[in-house]
Amino acid sequence: MKMEKNLVEKINAAAEELYPEMVKFAQKLVQTPSISGTEKNLADLDMEEMKKLGYDEVFRDEQGNVVGLVKGTLPGPTIMYNSHMDHVSPGDSANWQGYDPYGGAIDVCEADDQEKTVKELVECIHGRAASDVKCGEAVQIYAGGLIAKLRAQGVPIKGTFMFTGVVQEEPAEMVGMKYLIDKTFAEKGLSYDAMVSSEATSLKIYCGHRGRVELLITVYGRTSHGSAPWLGINAIYKAIPLIEKLKDELYPSLPVDPQLGKASVSLNIIECSPGALSIVPDKCMLSIDRRTIPGETVESVIAEVQAIIDELAAKDPEFRADVKVKTATEVSYTGVSCEAVKYMNPWKISTDHPFVKAASEALSALGQPVKYGYWDFGTDGSKTCGIDRKPTIGYSPMQEQYAHTPYDKCRTDFMKKALAGNAAIFLNVSEQGLEAFEKVEW
Ligand SMILES: [Zn+2]
């Protein structure tokens, strides 16, 4: 189905009208620090703005996530537009070339084009989280406002536009998202049919990323005096053959995904205990960053390490080790404490999936070139597609290369395009039949 020219004109006109206020709002978001666990002021701003823009329902859940709904005039799917409200530290402000990380300054400066091949002189908003994800967040909230505006003009709207702003994505993807979907939605009788993420995509449609498992392997020994090591079992020495197997056997044997690339394993921290010079250690702890591809599971990742442990134990009766997935406790700004398991699911959606096709069609109708990509980093798509298997894509004005750097900025010309783009995606995907919302498989 092609989008009508008349509708495209209405979208563009509304985007043009909302654009100046949207840029001011994005600036305000950048000027409001919201490091993970301190998102309250930002959440307040999001809620206020959604009310101002004519959302029908706006609420905050117990964990501090915010939700806004724009209801259509006809039955249809609920499309979730998702942003995280937190961000990482600005780091040393001396590296910010004169910009205040919380200044939200707007100027004309050099920025990459979409393909990162040419620098262009364009207007940008500067500051921490401009590219991860406050400018994308402003665009999504305004896209809901644009839908409300079209509805007021008498344009028939199918389904529901849902904005969700979640807490604590940076330290632990999925902590806010899982709480919101599994607890808050369940309690309120809400559900969603697909998700559009605001994480940086340079106006391309992103279709997945690898998963991540943080593993802790503990190798055991027995203490003795450091002056008499022959009386003990040195846990560090016992870890050596295990480390070699991870590096020389497991790593080269890992599978490759044609779109997302190679699975990987990397030993990034070694600690030992008791950790004093006069004592042979009886514990050696290895922290492993394991990146997974679709088809791999937390069970399969654990099993392959367990197989190495079993093999070594069969050869050496003194060898003892175990492996587990790391956990961390995260407390939200409202005081809700969650035990986060450090496992983020991999996911991908085919560019031929009817949902992705409908989104592409919407961008084409606006005259935006349709390009696809995949993230290097993780997102809350690990919950919506990785676990829930709902169609999920990324579409955002922000550019990946500026995220978490002191060059953090977002092009305002991309923001205007993304505002119209997000609204058009909503209007076109909500017209699709049930096949566009079927479970994603790989
Ligand atoms: Zn992010």
- In a domain, residue 284? The reply is yes
Give residue 149's pLDDT: 98
338 occurs within a structural domain: no
Please tell me whether residues 38 and 181 are part of one structural domain: yes
Count up the domains in the chain and report the number.
2
**How many A from CA of 180 to the centre of ligand 1?**
17
Q: Are residues 157 and 230 in the same domain?
A: no
* Distance from the alpha carbon of residue 234 to the mean position of ligand 1, in angstroms: 42
Range of the domain at 246: 211-329
Residue owning tokens 């921290």: 269
User: How many angstroms does the Cα of residue 128 sit away from the middle of ligand 1?
Assistant: 12
137: exposed, middle or buried (Cβ count in 10 Å: 0-12, 13-18, 19+): buried
Same domain, 184 and 152: yes
Along the 442 residues of the chain, how does pLDDT read in single tens digits?
Answer: 578 999 999 999 999 999 999 999 999 999 999 999 999 999 999 999 999 999 999 999 999 999 999 999 999 999 999 999 999 999 999 999 999 999 999 999 999 999 999 999 999 999 999 999 999 999 999 999 999 999 999 999 999 999 999 999 999 879 999 999 999 999 999 999 999 999 999 999 999 999 999 999 999 999 999 999 999 999 999 999 999 999 999 999 999 999 999 999 999 999 999 999 999 999 999 999 999 999 999 999 999 999 999 999 999 999 999 999 999 999 999 999 999 999 999 999 999 999 999 999 999 999 999 999 999 999 999 999 999 999 999 999 999 999 999 999 999 999 999 999 999 999 999 999 999 999 999 9
Residue 34 sits in a domain whose CATH number is: 3.40.630.10
- Same domain? For 350 and 365 the reply is yes
CA 165 / ligand 1 centre spacing (Å): 12
Q: Choose the final residue of a domain: 329, 356, 382.
A: 329
Do 265 and 141 share a structural domain? Answer: no
On the CB side of 406, CA atoms within 13 Å amount to 10
Residue 339 belongs to some domain of the structure:
no
Cα 82 to ligand 1 centre (Å): 11
Whether residue 271 contacts residue 386, with contact meaning beta carbons closer than 8 Å, is answered with no
Asked if 240 contacts 312 with a C-beta cutoff of 8 angstroms, the reply is no
Same structural domain, 80 and 197: yes
Asked whether residue 145 falls in the same domain as residue 56, the answer is yes
- Expressed in angstroms and rounded, the spacing between residue 131 Cα and the centre of ligand 1 is 8
Say if 10 falls within a structural domain. Answer: yes
Q: How far is the CA of 155 from the centre of ligand 1 (A)?
A: 33
Kindly state whether residues 55 and 193 are assigned to the same domain.
yes
Cα–Cα distance for residue pair 102/302, rounded to 1 Å: 42
- Which pTM value belongs to this model? 0.95
* Shared domain check, 417 and 299: no
Query: What distance in angstroms lies between residue 216's CA and the mean position of ligand 1's atoms?
Result: 25
Please give the distance, rounded to the nearest whole angstrom, from the Cα atom of residue 440 to the centre of ligand 1: 23
Contact status, residue 422 vs residue 196, Cβ threshold 8 Å: yes
Mark whether 39 and 134 lie in a shared domain. yes
| Residue 210 Cα to ligand 1 middle (Å) | 15
In the reported structure, the alpha carbon of residue 241 is separated from the centroid of ligand 1 by a whole-number distance in angstroms of 37
The residue from 295, 329, 363 where one domain ends is 329
Contact in structure between 122 and 107 (CB atoms under 8 Å) = no
Residues 309, 270 within the same domain? yes
Q: In angstroms, what is the span from residue 335 Cα to ligand 1's centroid?
A: 22
If asked whether residues 198 and 232 sit together in one domain, one would say no
